[in-house]
Structure 1
Amino acid sequence: MCDTNGFWRLFTIFLVALCAFSVVNARFFLNLYPRIKLDARSPKDAGEPLFITPYLKTGAISLAQNLSRVSITDTIGFRSHAGFFTIDEIYNANLYFWYFPPFSKKEEAPIIIWLQGGPGGSSLFGLFQELGPLIAKKEGFALRKYHWALNYHLIFIDNPVGTGFSFTDNENAYCTNETCVAEGLYSTLTQFYQLFPNLKQNELYLAGESYAGKYLPSFGLKIHQENAKSKEKVNLKGIAMGNAYCDPINQLDYGHYLYQLGLIDENESKLFLKYQADIANQIKQGNWEQADVLMDRLMDGDMTNFSYFKYYTGFDYYYNYLQAAAADDMSVFVNLLQNDKVRRGVHVGGLPFNDGLKVQLSLILDLLQSVAPAISELLSHYRIMFYNGQLDIVVAYPLTENFLRNLKFSSAMEYKNAKRMIWKVGDDIAGYVKRAGNLTEVLVRNAGHMVPRDQPNTVLSLITLVNSIFFPIYPRLKLPAKSCKEAGTPVFVTPYLKQGLIGAAQNVTRVLLLDVPEVASHAGFFTVDQKYNSNLYFWYFHPFTRNKTAPVLLWLQGGPGSSSLFGLFVELGPLMALGNKFVLRKYHWALHYHVLFIDSPVGTGFSFTQNTKGYCTNQDCVAKALYGALRQFFQLFPHLAHNDFYITGESYAGKYIPSLGLMIHKENAKTNCKINLKGMALGNAYSDPINQLDYGNFLYQHGLLDNYQRKVFLKTQNEIYAAIKNEAWTQANILMDRLMDGEVTHFALFKFYTGFNYYYNFLQSTLSDEKTPFMKLLHKNDVRRSIHVGGRSFHDGETVQLMLSLDMMQSVAPAISELLSHYRMLFYNGQLDIIVAYPLTINFINNLNFSASDEYFRATRIIWKVGNNIAGYIKTGGNLTEALVRNAGHMVPKDQPRWALDLIQKFINNDYN
């Protein structure tokens, strides 16, 4: 029989050897802590390293304390100590440490030991980049505002041997397992207490991040075991682990997580799930070499310079999903470490600084092994906190929670049933905390893998602690009527058109804003129902290229009941409000296109009716009014009647756009005066509620719900689903309100569990005040005269929303299916949105019945770049194109204006290459 285990072992050894051989020429993929390697320097210039162990052996404690003082911090005005502890005399293995007493001067303060991950990452990275009192700058060292030495004794250790300044003279001293790592750390700790005997009784906490999720439990268990045998016990109280990689077999589910982030599509997710199953199988069999190779191919690419993660996402970095590449500039850090004065001051002398590669290679068979049994034992005796940055990929929050839910410890059932609490720092929602027995689990909002760097004040607080149907996305804006004498009279275009006075209508609708006289635009009202005096307000901008044949784009805002002037001033129009004047936006859609904004439906913004029967209660009514407005627009500008025409918009306009598109399609079949409809672009479109419901899994994957809360969501979602199936629209609305919105019942599970008042960008928990500048301008009399609204009221859309209440949970999927047989459609989603999250849109698309559905399913998703930046991902099948826009919320053109413009140009040109 073929020895497959032998084959895999040889294959892995070959890959590791190849990796080591090519390190100089190959760029290693996805290193959390930069691979910094500094050669030895002359002792004549840099001094000699300070070895503490010989002084301890001779009892020269005071001398060792004095010699280890760091002159650099003495100069700045505070004390610190650094040097080397010898942990293996046979192989001359030494661990480097740097200790900072508390700035509070409290000698009895707890001690915190910080260990970096990697494996092979220097703890000096944590010191200078994350939580230490010093920041490395070009001009030297500066103090960090929020650092852990403010109130604690803080020790940084380069661990294990071969990391940073820690070194050995013999290859046999490199650790190949966690037992070895723990022994070296324990030896260092006992020598530290010899050096500072006054600290022996202080409480001790172990802390660190990433691969230190292996070191810390192993070190903690070593202390626990030694305490049982020794009279002089280490006063260990707890362990704090950030984005800890502890239990690989239960921290594997990248497929579902990346899909929920929009970084991979459903087909790519299936491949991830297959690889994950293979990796889990190899781990279960103890085939560490095979598991390493598969994991490398899935996520890392260290061995072969290929990974599916990089291939599908284009990312070179998986420590914050808002970043596609590492952004750390380590040149200052490197220059300081090479400075001879600094080297003398921190007692490293001329020793080289190791990049940790040998450490990683030596620990290669340890990478996918678990320390869960050690954690289980420790939880019976010590407090342990696991905290996760919400934006991390490689040790994402759902992966950590899955590992904890599978952990066997005395309070396991208590943990599974524990209530998650909203945690605030000041008035800000910092994250979420759950406790059970000695276990505390924390989600830190808006932080990646290196939480102390991304949220320094929040984490310092945490460490101290351890001792209607929609929220109004577009603000409810309302302006009262003004005197016509002051604000002028509104311009109604329809009477001019009826009399054939086209030139006069064009002249009377011309907008002249003194702040931006170069902008050519027209505005006014189209009457869409004479019986009820229902009128839609429009504002049209000529293309800045002056190209009369350029496509015409109609923009519709969502809500329902939100003014398209929000889109104009805040998202994609040529004008922005700045203080008391209008200014030009850099990236706007009128650069190349005719752009038309319409306040729709009647009762939205400046659009109005004089009879309650003029309000729409369904999409047919909305479409009919818009179609009437469009017919009049092309009468007003007949030279545009044959231009290509595109309907665009976002959010609840995901209902308006297909409905209008279908009406145009049907009317074109009956008339010679056709509208030259070419396509529709829908941003974060709410089109098919029954298939855009899965908030539970989405919020869970983003760390905003725990598993218990997810189950509550899933139960309510099933009830909503059943109500929609039964066409019980009022019941579906009430359930949806209770789940997400809270406008009707003044309670929403979403708000209760997350503390959020805003669900349009999960990096924001509340609505920012973006509307004030343009609303102030819209209330000025000279502006009202110029844009031809006169003294008309500006409506907040509440009546529109109430009138459309039975439409809320209904689907326009059939209209979309029919339109896809004739027109191109683009569905684009901001990655950070909650209410119409990317996976919800994909689920709706996957359930669409359209002619090219098989082609869409088989299509390859491509990485879309703007310049050198990864803007997102695009997939096309037949007339359907689907796009994910990175680092954008519900209002994509606002969050990523350049990328949104590029996407619209690609769509109109029908060229995504």
Structure 2
Amino acid sequence: MEYSPPLFPKLLFLLIIIIAAVLHHSTARPLPLFAATSYPKQALPIKSGYLTVNPTTGSSIFYTFYEAQNPHKNASKISQTPILIWLQGGPGCSSMIANLYELGPWIVNQNLSLEPNSGSWNNLFGLLFLDNPIGTGFSIAASPQEIPRNQNDVAKHLYIAIKEFIALDESFKTRPIYITGESYAGKYIPAIGYHILTENQCLPRGKRVNLGGVAIGNGLTDPEIQVATHGVNAYNLGLINEKQKALLEELQFEAVGFVKSGNWSEATNARTNVLNALTNMTGLATLGSESLVFEVCSDVVGDALKDDVMKSVRYMVEFLVKKSVKVLLYQGQCDLRDGVVSTLAWVKKMEWEGIERFLKAERKVWRVDGKLAGYVQRWESLSHAVVMNAGHLVPTDQGVNSQVMIQDWVLERGSFAGEETQDIQLKGSV
């Protein structure tokens, strides 16, 4: 799998209890007393439940939605407040990971209890978590055969679910929608963005999805190019020697060869060999998966999408920027899987009339509360951000800074507005 979170058994057990409380809130099903008393009422989402993607079979995507905590700081009324949609990676990992471990309003701390998250992404915006594809987390796949095998089918289900969600509240129809996520969602996000624009072309303005932009964190988007970067990246960071670099490059070459021949399953296996070798050499980048009752990451979904893993969706990103949809690519500075070098390798090959201007654009220093937070480079609709002192899970490693980053990108302020530095007052910032 592309991504599994470093959750320990006790933490995962508490996660199950918390998710059970959310389910109870949304479905009014009987709930054991210990679970009901472990989740603060103020931490419950305002909406949660299921969005049906196939009425015939009942296959559905599970969702949880938190309204903006301070919605009027960036909009005159709630109907203008953006909504962020978060998609987890995997393939097949639940977005409840991000909800309760990364960027939701309440997160699990080291004492195995819930606490308010100062870096929550719903400070100024609505925040919607989707368990995608069907079969992931609490989402329902009526049969394994119905689980998507490619990004077009993933996008079709997501589009139906998003339209259903928008129909839940009259105010949702006018609110800008931003699709965000990390890791393997580096494929989901361009796919749903591409699908939304394609569908919008055939619909009257009042029935279109109001797509504001897409943000990909530490994403796997163009695997053939990205898999070839691990050796040189680790070597330049001083994590491996020349002999190890040569071994990694042999494994990378094998993976690329399978891609070129269209042997997608073996290409995925070969990439896994590269990542395993990198982990063994460096002692880093290990992302273990533990599973009790609730599957944090679904092996069934992972297997369904195995042949999709090494297929590129770069053309979808190109389509979005050509249509002037805002695109943010951000990576943790320390990520060894889908980090800065990996992303910039495919960005340089984008077929877009603005790519040369983007590559020559000035790289701005980005500060939060007077401290260096990272770097931002932008040209027209494409932005790239490097988040300092963060790895594969940027919102976990840099909660407040990731919150400020996403706010500034959406609102086009600070370094995302061309300013060299920014100092943000963390409490009540606008």
Q: Which of residues 624, 635, 647 in structure 1 aligns to 2:179?
A: 647
Q: Which of residues 624, 643, 654 in structure 1 aligns to 2:156?
A: 624
1:721 correspondence with 2:256: yes
Question: Cα gap change, 1:892/1:801 in structure 2, threshold over 3 Å: closer, same or farther?
Answer: same
1:677 correspondence with 2:216: no
> Could you say which residue in structure 1 is the equivalent of 2:92?
561
Question: Cα gap change, 1:648/1:804 in structure 2, threshold over 3 Å: closer, same or farther?
Answer: same
Question: Cα gap change, 1:514/1:749 in structure 2, threshold over 3 Å: closer, same or farther?
Answer: closer
Q: Which secondary structure state, in structure 2, belongs to the residue aligned with residue 834 of structure 1?
A: coil
C-alpha distance in structure 1 between counterparts of 2:5 and 2:345, whole Å: 23
**8 Å Cα contact 1:525-1:537 kept in structure 2:** yes
5 Å-filtered alignment, 1:766-785, equals none
> Could you say which residue in structure 1 is the equivalent of 2:307?
806
Q: Which of residues 526, 548, 566 in structure 1 aligns to 2:51?
A: 526
5 Å-filtered alignment, 1:80-159, equals none
1:709 correspondence with 2:244: yes
Question: Cα gap change, 1:628/1:512 in structure 2, threshold over 3 Å: closer, same or farther?
Answer: farther
C-alpha distance in structure 2 between counterparts of 1:715 and 1:808, whole Å: 20
> Could you say which residue in structure 2 is the equivalent of 1:845?
347
> Could you say which residue in structure 1 is the equivalent of 2:143?
611
What is the CA-CA distance between 1:580 and the residue it aligns to?
6.6
1:588 correspondence with 2:120: yes
C-alpha distance in structure 1 between counterparts of 2:243 and 2:99, whole Å: 42
C-alpha distance in structure 2 between counterparts of 1:716 and 1:581, whole Å: 42
- Aligned partner letter, 2:309: M
For residues 502-544 of structure 1, what are the alpha-carbon distances to aligned partners after superposition, in whole Å with 9 as ceiling and x for unaligned?
xxxxxxxxx9996243766210011111333211100000111
Q: Which secondary structure state, in structure 1, belongs to the residue aligned with residue 322 of structure 2?
A: coil
C-alpha distance in structure 2 between counterparts of 1:512 and 1:663, whole Å: 42
> Could you say which residue in structure 1 is the equivalent of 2:103?
572
C-alpha distance in structure 2 between counterparts of 1:881 and 1:490, whole Å: 37
**8 Å Cα contact 1:864-1:870 kept in structure 2:** yes
C-alpha distance in structure 2 between counterparts of 1:587 and 1:554, whole Å: 16
What is the CA-CA distance between 1:590 and the residue it aligns to?
1.0
For residues 144-195 of structure 1, what are the alpha-carbon distances to aligned partners after superposition, in whole Å with 9 as ceiling and x for unaligned?
xxxxxxxxxxxxxxxxxxxxxxxxxxxxxxxxxxxxxxxxxxxxxxxxxxxx
5 Å-filtered alignment, 1:59-78, equals none
**8 Å Cα contact 1:533-1:610 kept in structure 2:** yes
- Aligned partner letter, 2:58: N
C-alpha distance in structure 2 between counterparts of 1:718 and 1:750, whole Å: 14
- Aligned partner letter, 1:683: G
- Aligned partner letter, 1:709: Q
- Aligned partner letter, 1:678: G
Q: Which of residues 317, 328, 332 in structure 2 aligns to 1:816?
A: 317
1:877 correspondence with 2:379: yes
Question: Cα gap change, 1:893/1:678 in structure 2, threshold over 3 Å: closer, same or farther?
Answer: same
C-alpha distance in structure 2 between counterparts of 1:519 and 1:532, whole Å: 29
**8 Å Cα contact 1:855-1:878 kept in structure 2:** no
5 Å-filtered alignment, 1:433-452, equals none
> Could you say which residue in structure 1 is the equivalent of 2:64?
539
C-alpha distance in structure 2 between counterparts of 1:615 and 1:474, whole Å: 26
Q: Which secondary structure state, in structure 1, belongs to the residue aligned with residue 390 of structure 2?
A: coil
> Could you say which residue in structure 2 is the equivalent of 1:697?
232
What is the CA-CA distance between 1:755 and the residue it aligns to?
3.9
**8 Å Cα contact 1:654-1:686 kept in structure 2:** yes
TM-score between the two structures when normalised by the length of structure 1:
0.41
Q: Which of residues 390, 406, 422 in structure 2 aligns to 1:888?
A: 390
For residues 344-403 of structure 1, what are the alpha-carbon distances to aligned partners after superposition, in whole Å with 9 as ceiling and x for unaligned?
xxxxxxxxxxxxxxxxxxxxxxxxxxxxxxxxxxxxxxxxxxxxxxxxxxxxxxxxxxxx
What is the CA-CA distance between 1:718 and the residue it aligns to?
1.7
Q: Which secondary structure state, in structure 2, belongs to the residue aligned with residue 590 of structure 1?
A: coil
Structure ID, larger Rg: 1
> Could you say which residue in structure 1 is the equivalent of 2:268?
733
**8 Å Cα contact 2:148-2:304 kept in structure 1:** yes
> Could you say which residue in structure 2 is the equivalent of 1:353?
none
**8 Å Cα contact 1:759-1:833 kept in structure 2:** no
**8 Å Cα contact 2:92-2:133 kept in structure 1:** yes
> Could you say which residue in structure 2 is the equivalent of 1:859?
361
What is the CA-CA distance between 1:602 and the residue it aligns to?
0.8
C-alpha distance in structure 2 between counterparts of 1:668 and 1:868, whole Å: 42
**8 Å Cα contact 2:105-2:122 kept in structure 1:** yes
> Could you say which residue in structure 2 is the equivalent of 1:657?
189
What is the CA-CA distance between 1:733 and the residue it aligns to?
1.6
C-alpha distance in structure 2 between counterparts of 1:513 and 1:664, whole Å: 39
Question: Cα gap change, 1:707/1:840 in structure 2, threshold over 3 Å: closer, same or farther?
Answer: same
> Could you say which residue in structure 2 is the equivalent of 1:181?
none
> Could you say which residue in structure 1 is the equivalent of 2:334?
832
Question: Cα gap change, 1:705/1:610 in structure 2, threshold over 3 Å: closer, same or farther?
Answer: same
- Aligned partner letter, 1:714: E
For residues 90-148 of structure 1, what are the alpha-carbon distances to aligned partners after superposition, in whole Å with 9 as ceiling and x for unaligned?
xxxxxxxxxxxxxxxxxxxxxxxxxxxxxxxxxxxxxxxxxxxxxxxxxxxxxxxxxxx
What is the CA-CA distance between 1:546 and the residue it aligns to?
4.4
What is the CA-CA distance between 1:582 and the residue it aligns to?
3.2
Q: Which secondary structure state, in structure 2, belongs to the residue aligned with residue 572 of structure 1?
A: coil
Question: Cα gap change, 1:859/1:646 in structure 2, threshold over 3 Å: closer, same or farther?
Answer: same
Q: Which secondary structure state, in structure 1, belongs to the residue aligned with residue 253 of structure 2?
A: helix
For residues 13-59 of structure 1, what are the alpha-carbon distances to aligned partners after superposition, in whole Å with 9 as ceiling and x for unaligned?
xxxxxxxxxxxxxxxxxxxxxxxxxxxxxxxxxxxxxxxxxxxxxxx
Bigger relative CO (Cα 8 Å, ≥ 6 apart): 2
- Aligned partner letter, 2:88: Q
- Aligned partner letter, 2:256: Y
Question: Cα gap change, 1:490/1:544 in structure 2, threshold over 3 Å: closer, same or farther?
Answer: closer
Question: Cα gap change, 1:734/1:867 in structure 2, threshold over 3 Å: closer, same or farther?
Answer: same
Identify which range, 682-691 or 518-527, moves more after superposition: 518-527
Question: Cα gap change, 1:887/1:723 in structure 2, threshold over 3 Å: closer, same or farther?
Answer: same
Question: Cα gap change, 1:634/1:754 in structure 2, threshold over 3 Å: closer, same or farther?
Answer: same
- Aligned partner letter, 2:176: D
What is the CA-CA distance between 1:852 and the residue it aligns to?
1.0
Count of aligned pairs between the two proteins: 389
C-alpha distance in structure 2 between counterparts of 1:851 and 1:627, whole Å: 29
Question: Cα gap change, 1:624/1:519 in structure 2, threshold over 3 Å: closer, same or farther?
Answer: same
TM-score between the two structures when normalised by the length of structure 2:
0.84
What runs of 5+ residues in structure 1 fail to find an aligned partner?
1-468, 493-510, 741-747, 761-766, 780-792
C-alpha distance in structure 1 between counterparts of 2:71 and 2:45, whole Å: 10
C-alpha distance in structure 2 between counterparts of 1:642 and 1:730, whole Å: 42
What's the RMSD between the two structures over aligned residues? 2.8
What is the CA-CA distance between 1:610 and the residue it aligns to?
2.2
What is the CA-CA distance between 1:752 and the residue it aligns to?
3.5
Question: Cα gap change, 1:490/1:893 in structure 2, threshold over 3 Å: closer, same or farther?
Answer: closer
Percent identical pairs in the alignment equals 29
Question: Cα gap change, 1:864/1:580 in structure 2, threshold over 3 Å: closer, same or farther?
Answer: closer
For residues 821-872 of structure 1, what are the alpha-carbon distances to aligned partners after superposition, in whole Å with 9 as ceiling and x for unaligned?
1201000000011001211111111111113112112211111111221111
Q: Which secondary structure state, in structure 1, belongs to the residue aligned with residue 197 of structure 2?
A: helix
Moved over 2 A (4+): 469-481, 487-492, 511-514, 516-520, 530-533, 577-583, 748-756, 793-796
C-alpha distance in structure 2 between counterparts of 1:697 and 1:841, whole Å: 14
**8 Å Cα contact 1:573-1:589 kept in structure 2:** yes
Question: Cα gap change, 1:705/1:488 in structure 2, threshold over 3 Å: closer, same or farther?
Answer: closer
C-alpha distance in structure 2 between counterparts of 1:614 and 1:837, whole Å: 32
